[in-house]
Amino acid sequence: MAVASVASVLHRAPVAPASTLQERLDVPGGRLPFPVVEPVAPLLPGGLRPGSVVAVQGSMALLLTLLAAATAQGAWAAVIGAEDLGVLAAAETGVVLQRLALIPRAGPDPASVAAALLDGMALVALAGTERISPGARRSLAARARQRGSVLLPLGRWPGADIELDCRVEAWHGAEAGHGRLRSREVVVRAVGRGAAARPRTARLLLPGPGGPVEEMLADLTIRAVG
Amino acid sequence: MRPPRVVVVWCPDWPVVAGAVAEGLASQTPAAVVAANRVLACSAVARAQGVRRGQRRREAQGRCPELVVLADDPDRDARVFEPVVAAVEALAPGVELVRPGLVAVPARGPTRYFGSEPAVAERIVDVVAAQAGMECQIGIADGLFAATLAAHRGLLVPPDGSAGFLATLSIAELHQPAADRAALVDLLHRLGLRTLGAFAALPVDDVASRFGLVGVCAHRLAQGLDERPLARRHPPVDLTVARRFDPPLDRVDAAAFASREPAQQLHEALATRGLACIRLGISACTEAEEQLHRVWRCAEPLTTSGIADRVRWQLDGWLTSRGSHRGAGITLLQLIPEEVIGGQALQRGLWGESGEDDERAGRALVRVQGMLGPEAVLIGVLGGGRNPHDRVRLGSWGEDPAPVHGADSPWPGRLPAPSPSRVPARPLAAEVFDDAGRVVGVSGRGKLTSVPYRIAVDGDPPRRVLAWAGPWPIEERWWEPGGGRRCARLQAVLDAEPAGPLAVLLGCETGRWKVEGMYE
């Protein structure tokens, strides 16, 4: 199926800088990473690697941002167990709703639902991680690695390849009785394992004015901490 | 997610009635249709003398010596039924034939036209009696199954009353002529489930693991849902099979022969796409330039012979009915797959084109639907509305997305982006206090009664308000008597240390605050 892989490359064809070539070559099975939107790219160099586990803490908006670019390029995403997900906010963030499956109530065994979805979906987000046992965690990670999909737990997940931690700094737009909420300033910190062990932080507007994430123009520096 | 309201027109003991009409028997003659030496249906007079469905012919004749035995002939049943269908169709569009003796019509249109459901029922009974000379019973309920059972009893079940109506009925009602569930009914009866309500009360997971697909379908029916919730795909237009006849078809035997080949072609065209037809549209054009169209709905995906049978029955009906087109031959026949579902064997694209991802995702979602039930997997569509909850329509995956109106219309009072990333599924109560600890409300003119200083969300200790904006009043449907809705929204940023500031969207209705969304 050499033709198939060429076709899928052409189909996805994100414009990637040459500097990420080495990372792409490191991907198991040679699969292309799923793209992420430009402002969060410095946190996840090269995008979301197939087969990895990327834990998101403290922000639903950040999770939706990670789904946006991939769904826009034809990949499917599922969100398990998030009963109160704001679908409107997802659309404003840039997620394509036709390819976002929601499983708000995953029943007594969310891990088995996640395992079934990892078979067919590119990105699988899972809320309520405290209900997943360590054994189920390991088998889900192995499943993602084997199928080349990305598992995005919303909450703590020991053993994640990358952990994204979102801290809210300030809200802009609303004053004492006038204006309206326009944007939120956050600092996102990414800590990884292996090649990504060096922590990276980014100061973002999440959501930015109008919905999608934006970089903070005043303080653009992506600095290494520690 | 209740199924659409359906009017079912049922002619009792149809095979016998049709046989008696074809044989020219008087209506008081006891008669029975016998197939494979068993009574399939009997007239009311015969039933009064002790003849029952399923009896041997000898036993039936023993109980009622003057019984006229008729042969089972589905073609005859369909042919004699055609005037009834034509009569119903004259009143209500979109008639679907379930089987000879039973037609279903969507209730919405005729109910609006005639004013009320009882008026529709009365009208149909009158017209069928006057034009076709047949007696029929009407049932109206949510969903075809409930409406069919209602028709057997001549009832109009109120909206949302289907589950309650079904709950008291016997479990044996699951066994209908179109779907053979005798074994399942027998098993459920022996397990002590005597009513549909008792069966419907079982958890769907347990039903699925114990009784399989047949059980899940029956369970959905017992709950008052449609057997098949998913209209998986809209068929592409090019699957229609058309056939011209020159010379025109004017004899029944010629029609029977002619129906086989297009049926085969349609079935093959669907099968190569991994599809199977569950609603078949048959349309024809006569020499007299008349357009005829009829939709057949089937419980099971149609096979080649199933399609051919229905085409034959329909052509037979049209050619021999007493309508105005009598005598005119059929020049054009079209078979239109109106509704199709995914077949078992899915064909994969040879080049791994983009459809592959969608298909993989589809299979995974169907698997999850199998684990949790079809309503567990949702896809959102944006629609019109003023608050984050109203603007999203969630539908089961695979279901026909309901047409969404007003997504692009102006909605005065709608808040611009960004929208809250969390919208509580059930409303969370909130309390707003000013710096003196008094409760803050919204005045009749849409102003806050005081400056908000602390806000408590869902019973948590009150948090300091860092910034706030609003209130923005909304008045919806004020023109409806008693149906109006007044609400005011307020955005507030709360001090939620150590996590950092938390923004919430509050709505105030009838003096009570609730959380409409959180920006997390």
Nearest CA in chain B to A213: B418
Confidence of residue B190 (pLDDT cuts 50, 70, 90): very high
DSSP class of B51: -
Quick one: pLDDT at residue A30? 53
Interface probe for B, chosen from A181, A182, A185, A186 (most Cβ of B below 10 Å), is A181
Nearest Cβ partner for A3 among B205, B351, B394: B351
Is residue B222 within 8 A of residue B199, CB to CB? The reply is: yes
Question: DSSP assignment of B286-353, as one string?
Answer: ETT--EEEEEEE-SS---HHHHHHHHHHHHHHHHHSSSTTTTPPEEEEEEEEEEEEE-SSPPPPTT--
| Beta carbons of B469 and A117 less than 8 Å apart | no
Homologous superfamily of B237-342: DNA polymerase, Y-family, little finger domain (3.30.1490.100)
pLDDT tens for each residue of B48-98: 888 888 889 899 999 988 888 888 888 888 888 888 888 888 888 778 888
- Within 8 A by CB and 6+ apart from A156, the residues are A55, A57, A129, A130
Q: What residues of A are in contact with residue B463 (Cβ under 8 Å)? A: none
The CATH number assigned to the domain with range A27-215 reads: 3.40.50.300
pLDDT tens for each residue of B332-366: 888 888 877 765 433 333 443 445 677 778 778 87
Distance CA B179, CA B176 (A): 6
Whether residue A18 is predicted with pLDDT greater than 60 in this model: the reply is: no
pLDDT tens for each residue of B286-315: 888 788 888 877 655 677 777 887 888 788
pLDDT tens for each residue of A157-167: 988 899 999 88
| Beta carbons of A178 and B469 less than 8 Å apart | yes
Whether residue A116 is predicted with pLDDT greater than 80 in this model: the reply is: yes
Whether residue B398 is predicted with pLDDT greater than 90 in this model: the reply is: no
Gap from B7 CA to chain A (nearest CA, Å): 34
pLDDT tens for each residue of B81-90: 888 888 888 8
Which run of H or of E encompasses B517? strand B512-519
Quick one: pLDDT at residue B83? 86
**Selecting from 3.20.20.150, 3.30.930.10, 3.30.70.270, 3.10.580.10, what CATH number does the domain B5-160 have?**
3.30.70.270
Greater model confidence, B174 or A79: A79
Identical topology for domains B5-160 and B237-342: no
Distance CA A156, CA A154 (A): 7
Quick one: pLDDT at residue B284? 87
Whether residue B189 is predicted with pLDDT greater than 60 in this model: the reply is: yes
Whether residue A186 is predicted with pLDDT greater than 70 in this model: the reply is: yes
Quick one: pLDDT at residue B230? 43
Residue pairs between chains A and B whose CB atoms are closer than 8 Å? 192
| Beta carbons of A85 and B418 less than 8 Å apart | no
| Beta carbons of A88 and B451 less than 8 Å apart | no
Give me chain A's average pLDDT, please. Answer: 81
Quick one: pLDDT at residue A2? 41
| Beta carbons of B421 and A207 less than 8 Å apart | yes
Mean pLDDT of B2-21: 88
Quick one: pLDDT at residue B125? 92
- Pairing outcome for strands B31-35 and B378-382: unpaired
Cα distance from N-terminal residue to C-terminal residue, chain B: 30
- Within 8 A by CB and 6+ apart from B468, the residues are A174, A176, A177, B452, B490, B491, B492, B493
Whether residue B199 is predicted with pLDDT greater than 80 in this model: the reply is: yes
User: Percentage of chain B with pLDDT > 70?
Assistant: 90
Give me chain B's average pLDDT, please. Answer: 82
| Helices and strands (H and E) in chain A: how many | 6, 9
Whether residue A41 is predicted with pLDDT greater than 50 in this model: the reply is: yes
Confidence of residue A225 (pLDDT cuts 50, 70, 90): very low
- Which of A89-98, A192-201, B213-222 has the largest mean confidence? A89-98
Gap from A18 CA to chain B (nearest CA, Å): 26
Nearest partner of B513 among B445, B454, B466, B435, judged by Cα: B454
pLDDT tens for each residue of B485-494: 788 889 999 8
In chain A, where the domains are located: 27-215
| Beta carbons of A89 and B415 less than 8 Å apart | no
**A56, two tokens:** 């998101």
In chain B, where the domains are located: 5-160, 237-342, 364-414, 428-519
